[in-house]
Amino acid sequence: MPGLKPLGTTTAGLLALASLPLLGACEDAPTTAPYGASCAAPTVQDPDFQTVTPWSTTGAATLMNGSARFDATAICNGDVLAQTFPSPALGCRQPMVMTLRTSLADDDRILLDVGINDGWIVPAVMLGEQTTTICLGARVLGGSAARRLGAGINPGICPPFEEEGPSFTIEHVSIAVDETTACPPFGTVSNGDFEEGVTSWSLAPEVGSAEISPGVGDGGSFGAHLATTAFCQIPKIAGTMSLPTAEMVPNPALQVWSNGTSNAIASIGMGRAQTYLPGTSHAGKTNICVPRWAQGTVQPLSFGFVETQFTQTCTLENVRDFVFDDLTFVSDPACTANASLFDPGFEQVARAPTSPPFWSLQQYDDEPSARVELKVDPTFAHAGDVAALLSISSACPGAGLMGNVTVPAPVGTAGPALKFWYKTSAITYAGLSATMSALSAVVALPAATDWTQARACLQPNLAGRPDVLTFGVAGSGGDCTTAFTPETFAIDDVELTTDSACPAL
């Protein structure tokens, strides 16, 4: 069964994203007011791997005199290098920066996972040697910090296509106080009200329009403005934010003021997480829950458009407009601080219909044969009032829904697991899929006319890390013009939990 094409994930879009500021990199950020009381930076033992005894490794990651090495197996298994070190007390208000010196061979670019006390940052490592400086958030505070360094989710190279595949080494790790005040203060979005113009923001018009202008924001203030006139225009605006911990802001959420045309869907990127925000032609504020893995870290923040046509003709008119303003962090009871996923039963669409849904629906206006909806009908749902309904009546393309999640940690001997309820009308010409990078194996979903619970184990070594959970429906391939009797699939009551049948180590 062919994979579902994510909305807006074109080659040009990926290249544009790659050019945006990465995960709190501090090199080009502006100088701001002093943070307040200074703090001593934590000391990394053996920063150049000369003795290697302070470090530990998992899996195929290896230590040698002068570096830590990750071959293709270590990259694809998510193996890590780890060290625990003393860190500043919670009262510290001065951000820290981590410096990594790395070298990558046999691939143009891979993603790292940098973990500080279960907060994860995902910088990119480019081919050859490079030095990367990363802003650290409030997760580094508290008297002791566990640091983990390893490969991130790299589906483009895993499993390796060649016999050996890519490899990278880490040759230096250090942490210092941000003396330049280049990193955002804890719990803030840099220039989040846009009143300083383009300060702290980068603009990528990409044939469309991307600007920060007076008069377009809340109350006629400055705001970030995206617009297109035709298809194939992919404007983006990107900045940096230091997300609060749950201790700083209980149940943290990013609040965004916005005003978009009703035919537009905005994509709001929070590091690896992505939220779709439909335009309503009315201004208003919405809250986007902060995933557990992102709390207390510094992440890139980006705004763009979601593509709603599967086949785009670049000369056709596509007038879209979206404005963003007043970016701040608030407490929202719907954003349970320690949750691995939000809205497990899809109930938000019924209980808070004006809020942006946790689940992003993926479908195309020009492909009506594949649809997805959050159906409000207690007689249809497994429990509560809502269930996800996916349907398809031609061989391709497909539709789906996506949520940004955190891989749960093992509890005792019970390992992390994905569980959900589903049912089908038939599986003759189409099929249902559930995907996560942390899945230990493909989830088998045979035909089930009654609600049936599916269970799948997750890789315990990826506990606490960011992931994306996607449910998709697609035809079995062949001629895309071939139609068949519609086949439907329903999903409800999704859990990211633990199970005694899943490995904990």
Kindly give, in sequence order, each residue whose CB lies less than 8 Å from that of residue 67, ignoring residues fewer than 6 positions away. Answer: 49, 169, 170, 171
How far are the Cα atoms of 276, 310, 473 from residue 5, in angstroms, in the given order? 16, 9, 11
Kindly give, in sequence order, each residue whose CB lies less than 8 Å from that of residue 371, ignoring residues fewer than 6 positions away. Answer: 363, 390, 391, 392, 399
pLDDT at site 180: 83
Chain segment 43-58, per-residue pLDDT in tens: 899 999 998 889 999 9
pLDDT at site 26: 33
One of 1.20.1290.10, 1.10.510.10, 2.60.120.260, 3.90.950.10 is the CATH number of 25-177, namely 2.60.120.260
Q: What is the average pLDDT across 31-41? A: 57
Chain segment 316-326, per-residue pLDDT in tens: 999 999 999 99
pLDDT of 33 > 70? The answer is no
Chain segment 466-487, per-residue pLDDT in tens: 999 999 999 876 677 788 899 9
Chain segment 145-175, per-residue pLDDT in tens: 888 999 888 877 887 666 678 899 999 999 9
pLDDT band per the 50, 70, 90 thresholds, residue 488:
very high
Secondary structure class of 74 (helix, strand, coil): helix
pLDDT of 223 > 60? The answer is yes
How far are the Cα atoms of 68, 134, 135, 415 from residue 175, in angstroms, in the given order? 17, 9, 10, 33
The answer to whether 489 and 414 are in contact (CB under 8 A) is no
pLDDT at site 420: 98
d(CA 80, CA 172): 15
pLDDT band per the 50, 70, 90 thresholds, residue 286:
very high
User: In which residue are the tokens 């890590």 written?
Assistant: 80
Secondary structure class of 18 (helix, strand, coil): helix
Q: What are the strands, taking DSSP E only, across 284-429?
A: 284-289, 298-305, 317-331, 360-362, 370-376, 386-394, 399-406, 415-424
Burial (Cβ within 10 Å: 0-12, 13-18, ≥19) of residue 28: exposed
d(CA 169, CA 106): 12
pLDDT band per the 50, 70, 90 thresholds, residue 35:
low
Q: What is the average pLDDT across 218-227? A: 97
Q: What is the DSSP letter of 458?
A: B
pLDDT at site 238: 97
Q: Where are the domains of the chain?
A: 25-177, 185-338, 360-499
The answer to whether 109 and 22 are in contact (CB under 8 A) is no
**346-358 per-residue burial string, b: 16 or more CB within 10 A, e: under 16:** bbbbbeeeebbbb
Q: What is the CA radius of gyration of the chain?
A: 23
pLDDT at site 355: 66
Q: What is the average pLDDT across 188-200? A: 97
Q: What is the average pLDDT across 391-410? A: 93
The answer to whether 90 and 141 are in contact (CB under 8 A) is yes
The answer to whether 266 and 320 are in contact (CB under 8 A) is no
The answer to whether 489 and 421 are in contact (CB under 8 A) is no
Chain segment 423-450, per-residue pLDDT in tens: 999 888 899 999 999 999 999 999 999 9
The answer to whether 250 and 242 are in contact (CB under 8 A) is no
d(CA 120, CA 23): 10
Q: 185-338 and 360-499 share one CATH topology?
A: yes
How far are the Cα atoms of 199, 251, 346 from residue 30, in angstroms, in the given order? 7, 30, 41
Q: Which pair of tokens denotes residue 503?
A: 């490995």
Query: pLDDT averaged over the chain?
Result: 88
In terms of Cα–Cα distance, which of 268, 300, 264, 257 is closest to 280?
264
The answer to whether 217 and 326 are in contact (CB under 8 A) is yes
pLDDT of 23 > 50? The answer is no
Q: What is the DSSP letter of 313?
A: -
pLDDT band per the 50, 70, 90 thresholds, residue 2:
very low
Chain segment 363-379, per-residue pLDDT in tens: 999 899 999 999 999 99
pLDDT band per the 50, 70, 90 thresholds, residue 354:
low
d(CA 242, CA 236): 20
pLDDT at site 169: 95
One of 3.40.50.300, 2.60.120.260, 3.30.1540.10, 3.40.50.720 is the CATH number of 185-338, namely 2.60.120.260
pLDDT band per the 50, 70, 90 thresholds, residue 187:
very high
Between residues 240 and 13, which one has the greater pLDDT?
240
Fold of 360-499: Jelly Rolls (2.60.120)
d(CA 22, CA 134): 9
d(CA 166, CA 149): 17
- Write down the pTM of the prediction: 0.88
* Secondary element (H or E) of residue 77: helix 72-77
pLDDT at site 225: 98
pLDDT at site 383: 96
d(CA 6, CA 198): 30
Q: How far is CA 253 from the centre of its chain?
A: 14
Q: What is the average pLDDT across 208-217? A: 97
**Cis amide prior to 205 (ω within 30 degrees):** no
d(CA 501, CA 457): 8
| Residue type, position 403, single letter | G
pLDDT of 388 > 80? The answer is yes
